[in-house]
Structure 1
Amino acid sequence: MADYRLETSWRPIEGGFGRLNFTLFNLSSEPLSGFLLAYTSETRVADKHVCDGGSLKRQVAHFHEVRPPEGLSVPPGGHWQFTVEGLTREPKHVTSGVKSAYLTLGDGRHLPVGFGDLLLEGRNGGAAPPLLPPGRAEEPYSLLPWPLALGLKAGELPVVLYPAERTRPEAVKTLSLVLSLHQRLYPAENVPFSLCAAEGGRAIRFVTESSIAAFAYELRFTAHEIVLSSADAAGLHYGLISLAQLMHGARTDREHFRFPSFGTIADQPRYNWRGCHLDVARQFYSVADVLRLLDILAWNKLNIFHWHLTDDEAWRLEIKTYPQLTETGARRGPDEALVPQLGDGAETRSGHYAQEDVRRIVAHAASLHIEVVPEIDIPGHSTATLLSLTGLVDGQEAPDSYRAVQGYPNNALNPAVEFTYEFLGKVFDEMVTLFPGEYFHIGGDEVASGAWLSSPLCTALMEREKIAGTAELQSYFLKRIKTMLSERGKKLAGWNEVSHGGGVDRDGTLLMAWEKPAVGIELAQQGYDVVMTPGQAYYLDMAQAEAWSEPGASWAGHAPPEHTYAYEAEGELPDALREKMLGVQACIWTENFLSRAYFNRLVFPRLPAVAEAAWTPLERKDWDRFAAIVRMWPVL
């Protein structure tokens, strides 16, 4: 138990974003004096603020360090209280408060401080509604995403499914891979498949049928066998996952779900891009966690893993040419170059993926028909990079001459520093050996208004190239990056701001519309390929209800699972532009995910909801059926 505890509350006030009240309790047996209190919170203190009972000594983005009044001594059992007015935004949810806290004593020691929820004063926080109804499955088959066409009659549950005699080795191997997937996801459940014939089981006969579309499959159930037809390995894989799902539901909930005895399933995905993004910069996830998430994506028939490997808070990918990127940029702590953020306390936290880790993850994804799209977020969101390699900084640029929306000063790679391109070229050279997929994601989002304008090197570049302003500077930078990627056989993917300032060549460029749905239509009209990932529906860190007690972020409002499920990404997209929309993607931003419990509460069941939107046509979706099935689905 910590010897110190910090309690916080927030009260709305007229004409501002309210008042935060902090109370530090000394639960130790010694008086506390000569200390600093540090805490991290997404509810940031603004430059213009009033701190009563203390003073803000230092702030870096979400990190705040507060000095008590001169000579203050907190006796054992006593407390120190201070308030802050002048915030950058109004807190909306219980998780808008403190995410970590510690004390720094006069001798340099750092001591942990316990903390609780952000309490609400002077207002009713509302009641959180149920997020998932009991559900109702009129057709008793547990398939998620729901297939394109289905006509089945229920029968007896077989003991196990097995390959028919003389099944070709590739089909047996795929069956074994899906069997292993099921065992990893449901280790306490009986297996759905056996490689050997078994009494009481049913045989699967595999047929290669060239007339079936790519990624599609057909299942035909007869009295004696199940016929699985497909044209390619992916279709075979998805068909076997459907059989495993049918077995799982019929065993898990025998009252509501059955296994088919007769009939057919004809199925294929609605979109080719069915993605899930994971931010590992804000919170680090172990190799085992990433492998588990890939298994969950495969079970939900998602086929893209967008791996957000760098941000202001950390650089997570080993680059052998520049070991400083992970030696410095993957460590946050009180005595590190990167100060604590978003849940970091008195102890240094670190984590990165060695290249061997990456190869293992990419190979595992490939075995599940998932492509890994790595993201190196540039030119903004680069604090960890710039602190690791100081040669990337224009030394003549005034510090704190601009700030990103998250509060980081001067956090963008400088387009006029030639070392920037040498550095990124060597990073890309190593990444090409690790990631065989089609796309590299380069971020391109949230470069601060006014970035680089006080850099003498950029001023000279703008005069030389006839460039005006930050957006055109970013376009200049990203055009060079696109050329570098093309030389290495890769296509550029990025967030929707890549289109700003003139954007980049549309050919071979994929942009993700995140700010609002209308942005995706605008990008398609400009000629870009588009993936829809709007924060209002597909950002899985958003709170799921308006109530104060619900955890999560709030900038895009709140997104109940039913809203995420029902959301139609195509929206008002004209028919003529449909071919520009490649698909949809869920995004897991991890600022709020301080525990596995929070991760699972926010990500599920919304991730399977996006998966069904990515696979199942609108007219085949059914919220009540989804709710009945998804409660049996795996979580991290």
Structure 2
Amino acid sequence: MKSFLLMVLCLVWFSNAGAQPNIIPKPTQMLVAKGEWTLGNKTKIGAPADDKWTKVAEILSGQISKASGYSLKTVKGKGNITFKISSDVTLGEEGYRLLVTPKGVTIQAQTAKGAFYGVQSLLQLLPAEIFSPAVVSNIKWTVPYVTIKDVPRYQYRGLMLDVCRHFMPLEFVKKYIDLIALHKQNQFHWHLTDDQGWRIEIKKYPELTAIGSKRKETMKGAYKDQKYDGTPYGGFYTQEEIKEVLKYAEERFINVIPEIEMPGHALAALAAYPKLGNNPDKIYQVGTKWGVFDDVFMPREETLKFLEDVLTEVIDLFPSKYIHVGGDECPKVQWKESRFAQDLIKKENLKDEHGLQSYVIKRIDKFITSKGRRMIGWDEILEGGLSPNATVMSWRGTEGGITAAKELHDVVMTPGDFVYLDHYQADEKTQPIAFPSFTNLAETYSYDPTPKELSAEEAKHILGVQGNVWTEYMKTPAYVEYMVFPRAIAIAETGWTSADQKDFADFSKRLEMHKKRLDYLGVNYFGAPGNDKFEYVWPAKK
């Protein structure tokens, strides 16, 4: 401990001597001294005798070996790079200390998860070539002398991916998870069912994927044009494939939250099982256009049993504390016209159709709670009265989040104006087609997830922030990457770094170096060289 304090004093003395490292998200505390430590072929990585800590060491060793060609050994205990279990309670579950001295590198954390985030910072202290997928010669692998103490601002730091409008291959989902991990985010929200496709295998209901995962064609161009490509489209993940993703995410300390939409956005399920809708004799078709459909689940006991069966398989697959049920954009037209729905409203003494939606959500919340999990949904679940155990994702601005937090419900902030990454990010005339709204990098970075209207006690219920990625216009992984990055990196810094340390000019400077890392990682970010890998004509408009 004394040697550590001595080194801190030395680093304070030299704190203005070296250039500030370009770490994203920006660490809580960082001091830089003159000099640098050099990693070599004989470097050893020491870790505690614990499987999770050993896995973190192996991830670090694997990345270094891939780029440098060095065969680094992982040992128990002390090495040139050493992981240590810390007793510092101020680090919490996800914080870490990173110390680089002439003797080597030390990463201290209370948990392997915190150590993993220390690894992300260590990799960013090395030359950008460390992210190369192949060996890079003639590089001196140096790390500046630094001391870092780093603790995240929020416990929930997420990124969502819609695979219903356009299906994304398994390897891309893993790459997406890698990029979430690189930026110290800890939640992957996987949007798996919607009107345009059911993407998760449910063994009890095989028609969900046999029928519900396929649509006869897809919209092309702008929504207002109402044009279609005439090409059948489909895809889904087997439960074995989902297990593969979950294991991959777990090794990177990322929780995967499944989303199963209800009671709206149900058309793909109704195409497979018409009896779940308002008109069992109707021939439903999986949605071929974007937007919201009037066809929703009819809340009969049979339908609720179906939803519970689906959620049972989902809960058995996903270890996530949270199970997302959507709850958004549920038109009430069919419920208003349904004798059954109106009788149920009277029977349950509900106020109106909004109360009926709340009735469905509360039933599902009770079921999810009985399984030891927590329900999370979009802010429409506030309508008709919020279910007692619900966590709210506030997407229609911040009002839903404020209302929920004032009622002492947990909230994840996801307001469209700031963190919806399907919006245009530059002049529409120069861009591939996107959702007709505008959110650039500076606006995304400017967002503060904790509303000033909340008291200190209410503010504790703001769990964090999430970026949302709806793929109506994103047909390919390259298109997703172009729309998501670097705006998702700004969201990551918002989730990790305290508000008083955020500075867009400083972030932009660090981002320029970070883009070199993204280049080595093969990310097709906005502004990258040769980033015109899209099906649409580039530019979209003349």
Alignment-derived partner of residue 58 in structure 2: 176
Paired letter, 2:504? W
Equivalent residues in 2 for 1:12-411, closer than 5 Å: 139-156=19-36, 158-160=38-40, 162-163=43-44, 168=49, 170=51, 171-180=53-62, 189-190=67-68, 194-195=72-73, 203-211=80-88, 212-249=91-128, 259-333=142-216, 339-341=217-219, 345-395=229-279, 408-411=292-295
- 2: CA distance between counterparts of 1:269 and 1:432? 28
Q: Distance in 2 between matches of 1:352 and 1:243?
A: 37
Aligned match for 1:568, one of 435, 445, 448: 448
Instruction: Look up the equivalent residue of 2:440 and give its one-letter code.
Output: P
Give the match's secondary structure for 1:536: helix
Letter of the 2:251 partner, please give it: S
- Checking the alignment, whether the CA contact within 8 Å between 2:125 and 2:144 is kept in structure 1 is no
Shift of 1:620: 2.0
Deviation at 1:176, TM superposition (A): 0.8
Pick closer, same or farther for the CA change 1:406–1:501 going to 2, 3 Å.
Answer: farther
CA contact (8 A) 1:141 1:259 kept: no
Label 1:159 to 1:514 Cα distance change in 2 as closer, same or farther (>3 A).
Answer: same
1:313–1:299: structure 2 CA closer, same or farther, 3 Å change rule? Answer: same
The 3 A distance-change label for structure 1 pair 262 and 246 is: closer
Matched, 1:600 2:481: yes
Match of 2:500 in 1: 619
Which stretch shifts more, 567-576 or 439-448? Answer: 567-576
Residue 144 to residue 341, structure 1, CA distance change in 2 (3 Å): same
Deviation at 1:181?
5.7
SS at match of 1:632: helix
Shift in Å at residue 345 of structure 1?
3.0
Report the CA distance shift for 1:366/1:434 in structure 2 as closer, same or farther (over 3 A): same
Q: 1:292 to 1:191 in 2, by over 3 A?
A: farther
Q: Cα offset for 1:596?
A: 3.7
The 5 A counterparts of 1:540-555 are 540-554=421-435
Measure how far apart 1:166 and its partner are: 7.7
Is residue 630 of structure 1 aligned with residue 514 of structure 2? Answer: yes
Aligned pair in 2 of structure 1 residues 236, 140: CA closer, same or farther (>3 Å)?
Answer: same
Deviation (angstroms), 1:316: 0.4
- Aligned partner of residue 314 in structure 2, secondary structure: helix
Does the CA contact (< 8 Å) of 1:331 and 1:351 recur in 2?
A: yes
Q: Distance in 1 between matches of 2:251 and 2:149?
A: 23
Deviation (angstroms), 1:409 = 4.1
Amino acid paired to 1:476: Y
User: Counterpart of 1:227 in 2: which secondary structure?
Assistant: strand
1:452 aligned counterpart, secondary structure: helix
- 1:89-141 deviation digits (Å, cap 9, x = unpaired): xxxxxxxxxxxxxxxxxxxxxxxxxxxxxxxxxxxxxxxxxxxxxxxxx9441
Q: For residues 461-472 of structure 1, what are the structure 2 equivalents within 5 Å?
A: 461-472=344-355
The 3 A distance-change label for structure 1 pair 354 and 269 is same
**One-letter code aligned to 1:442:** V
Deviations 1:384-416 (Å, cap 9, x if unpaired)?
01111011123389999xx9x95554321112x
After superposition, give the CA deviation of every residue in 1:571-612 in whole Å (9 maximum; x if it has no partner): 324223111100000111101112344322211100111111
Residue identity in the other structure for 2:80:
A
CA distance in 1, matches of 2:71, 2:120: 11
Report the Cα distance in structure 2 between the residues aligned to 1:350 and 1:176, rounded to whole angstroms: 37
The aligned counterpart of 1:590 is 471
Kindly indicate whether the alpha-carbon contact (under 8 Å) linking 2:259 and 2:326 is maintained by their aligned counterparts in 1: yes
d(CA) in 1 for partners of 2:382, 2:497 = 30
Percent identity between matched residues is: 32
Segments of structure 1 that go 5 or more residues without pairing to the other structure are 1-137, 334-338
Q: Do the aligned residues in 1 keep the contact of 2:109 with 2:115 (CA within 8 Å)?
A: yes
Between the aligned partners of 1:409 and 1:167, the Cα distance in structure 2 is: 54
Distance 1:259 1:317 in 2: 45
Pick the structure with more strand per residue.
1
From 373, 393, 406, the counterpart of 1:512: 393
The one-character-per-residue Cα deviations of 1:142-178 (angstroms, maximum 9, x if unpaired) are 3111110000125346234844568645444311124
Q: CA deviation at 1:504?
A: 1.2
Q: Which residue number in structure 1 is paired with residue 534 of structure 2?
A: none
Q: How many residues are matched? A: 478
- State the alpha-carbon separation in 2 of the partners of residues 549 and 252 from structure 1: 30
Q: Which residue is 1:70 aligned to?
A: none
User: Structure 1's 348 and 486: CA in aligned 2 closer, same or farther, altered over 3 A?
Assistant: same
- Which amino acid is 1:227 matched to? T
TM-score between both structures, scaled by the size of structure 2: 0.81
- What amino acid sits opposite 2:218 in the alignment? P
Decide whether the 8 Å contact of 1:155 with 1:258 is kept in 2. Answer: no
Q: Do structure 1's residue 531 and structure 2's residue 412 form an aligned pair?
A: yes
* C-alpha spacing 1:205/1:165, structure 2 compared with 1 (3 Å): closer
For 2:71 and 2:407, how far apart are their aligned partners in 1?
Answer: 49
- Describe the superposition over 1:295-347 as per-residue Cα deviations: whole angstroms up to 9, x where unpaired: 111111110000000011000000000000000010112xxxxx534587333
For the structure 1 residues 248 and 409, does the alpha-carbon distance in structure 2 shift closer, same or farther, using more than 3 Å as the test?
same
Amino acid at match of 1:242: S
| Distance 1:262-1:193 versus aligned 2 partners, 3 A rule | farther
| Corresponding residue SS for 1:373 | strand
Distance 1:514 1:409, change over 3 A: closer
**For 2:261 and 2:462, how far apart are their aligned partners in 1?**
23
For 1:436, what is the secondary structure of its paired residue? coil
Answer yes or no: is the 8 Å Cα contact 1:398–1:455 preserved in 2.
no
Question: What amino acid is the match of 1:412?
Answer: V
CA RMSD of aligned residues (A): 3.0
